[in-house]
């Protein structure tokens, strides 16, 4: 029996926090046909709000240390301010969106990340399980889930969880139910051969390509975990993964990640 299609779009904080870019993205997301789901970031807004509240932001290799005070900030910002702003925008466009964190309906459960190279990341979660049945319940009820990058440990603690990882793990789980396309939308037109040349988009990346591009230093920094998440998704049965610009979420442009 042929599976219904599901499009999952993950949008980064740089787009979410720019009103013009966000408005364009929400319009484009609204016209995607069929079943869909949105995962969002919001790290820059969290840093901004933390500064306003006098909470110090600590980063290690681009990853946020989430102590108790920062956990309160990211819960407020991701699960409240950013998530509900997106939901309200989609409702205004006629998309019946529902804002969720991993705690809601127990849809994403994680464990607290153990010490890594002696670094305690605090209340940061690594995903254990995604409840595809619960998420499908919303989708089949004609609602569009908008998922914030927060999960929980089942013991009463919220956990800050990377948005790319949330998108990849949700896509992997939903691939058992739907024919899934996962689109990572950010500020560049795709994965670039030359970071200073937006026309140098690499059209396709396979696992072998990734190893070569990583060794050559062409892919580095924050793009490394994004592609690792993309490869994990296709390896787990996600039909198609595209890394592209937030203005091109039709899936026809950007970098396709495949086996």
Question: For position 11, which CATH number holds?
Answer: 3.40.1160.10
Reference 74, options 46, 111, 45, 116; nearest CA is: 46
Q: What pLDDT does 252 receive?
A: 87
Tokens 């009103």 sit at which residue? Answer: 19
DSSP state at residue 178: S
CB 101 within 8 A of CB 64: no
Q: What pLDDT does 251 receive?
A: 85
Q: What pLDDT does 204 receive?
A: 96
**Cα 187 from Cα 12, distance rounded (Å):** 8
Per-residue pLDDT of the chain (259 residues; tens, 9 = 90+): 678 999 999 998 889 989 999 999 999 999 999 999 999 999 899 999 999 999 999 988 778 899 999 999 999 999 999 999 999 999 999 999 999 999 999 999 999 999 888 899 999 999 999 999 999 999 999 999 999 999 999 999 999 999 999 999 999 999 999 999 999 998 899 999 998 899 999 999 999 999 999 999 999 888 888 899 899 999 999 999 999 999 999 888 999 999 8
Contacts of 156 (CB under 8 A, 6+ apart): none
CB 172 within 8 A of CB 130: yes
Q: Tell me the whole-structure pTM to 2 decimals.
A: 0.94
Bridge partners, residue 66, by sequence = 122
Q: What pLDDT does 179 receive?
A: 96
DSSP state at residue 220: -
Domain count, the chain: 1
C-alpha atoms less than 13 angstroms from C-alpha of 116 in its C-beta half-sphere: 12
Give the Å distances, CA to CA, from 40 to 15, 57, 83, 135: 9, 20, 8, 16
**Cα 117 from Cα 259, distance rounded (Å):** 31
The boundaries of the domain holding residue 191 are 5-257
Reference 166, options 182, 179, 155, 178; nearest CA is: 182
Tokens 């591009």 sit at which residue? Answer: 213
Cβ count within 10 A of residue 259: 8
Q: What pLDDT does 13 receive?
A: 81
Q: What pLDDT does 20 receive?
A: 93
* Total residues belonging to the chain: 259
Assigned token pair, 179:
């024919």
- Torsion sign across C-alpha atoms 45, 186, 60, 120: positive
Bridge partners, residue 109, by sequence = 129, 152
DSSP state at residue 66: B
């Amino acid at each position: 029996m042929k599976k219904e299609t599901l499009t999952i779009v993950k949008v980064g904080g740089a787009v979410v926090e720019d009103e013009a870019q966000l408005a364009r993205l929400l319009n484009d997301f609204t016209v995607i046909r069929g079943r869909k789901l949105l995962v969002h970031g919001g790290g820059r807004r969290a840093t901004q709000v933390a500064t306003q509240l006098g909470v110090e932001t600590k980063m290690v290799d681009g990853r946020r240390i989430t102590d108790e005070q920062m956990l309160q900030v990211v819960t407020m910002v991701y699960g409240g301010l950013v998530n509900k702003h997106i939901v309200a925008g989609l409702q205004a466009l006629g998309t019946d969106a529902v804002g969720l964190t991993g705690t809601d309906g127990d849809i994403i459960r994680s464990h607290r990340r153990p010490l890594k190279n002696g670094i305690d990341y605090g209340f940061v979660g690594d995903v254990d399980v995604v409840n595809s049945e619960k998420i499908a319940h919303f989708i089949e009820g004609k609602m569009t889930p908008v998922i914030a990058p927060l999960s929980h440990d089942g013991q009463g603690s919220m956990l800050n969880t990377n948005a790319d990882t949330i998108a990849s793990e949700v896509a992997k789980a939903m691939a058992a139910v739907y024919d899934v396309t996962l689109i990572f939308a950010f500020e560049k037109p795709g994965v670039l051969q030359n970071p200073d040349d937006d026309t140098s988009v690499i059209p396709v990346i396979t696992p072998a390509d990734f190893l070569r591009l990583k060794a050559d230093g062409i892919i580095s920094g924050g793009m490394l975990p994004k592609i690792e998440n993309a490869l994990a998704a296709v390896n787990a049965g996600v039909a198609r993964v595209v890394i592209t610009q937030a203005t091109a979420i039709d899936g026809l442009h950007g970098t396709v990640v495949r086996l």
